[in-house]
């Protein structure tokens, strides 16, 4: 019987240095309220993926979350109060 000898050859991998292309992206600042919204929404998605909640429950939670965000952002944004410009009629 003929037995084949197997030899393992080591392949040398040479890495050529490459420059990484870096593109600067302007980051927007998030308010604490927006940050909380994104984190809570992420938690809802995590629960949905783990099958802890149903799709309908997730929709309801996200809708409620969005409604709360809108109402809180309106309450936290002060209304602009000021005088209106009035046109003065010129007397001749």
pLDDT tens digit sequence for 67-78: 988 888 777 665
What integer best gives the mean pLDDT of the chain?
Answer: 78
In a domain, 69, yes or no: yes
Question: Does residue 88 sit within a domain?
Answer: no
Alpha-carbon span 2 to 75, nearest angstrom? 86
What sign has the CA pseudo-torsion 63, 53, 31, 23?
negative
Q: Is residue 65 part of a domain?
A: yes
pLDDT over 70 percentage in the chain: 63
Number of domains in the chain: 1
Instruction: Enter the DSSP assignment of 36.
Output: H
DSSP letter at 88?
P
């Amino acid at each position: 019987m003929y037995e084949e000898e197997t030899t393992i050859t080591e392949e040398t991998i040479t890495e050529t240095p490459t420059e990484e292309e870096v593109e600067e992206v302007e980051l927007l600042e998030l308010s604490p309220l927006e940050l909380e919204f994104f984190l809570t929404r992420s938690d809802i998605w995590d629960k949905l993926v783990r099958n802890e909640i149903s799709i309908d429950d997730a929709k309801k939670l996200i809708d409620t979350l969005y409604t709360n965000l809108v109402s809180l952002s309106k309450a936290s944004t002060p209304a602009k109060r000021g005088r209106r410009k009035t046109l003065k009629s010129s007397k001749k």
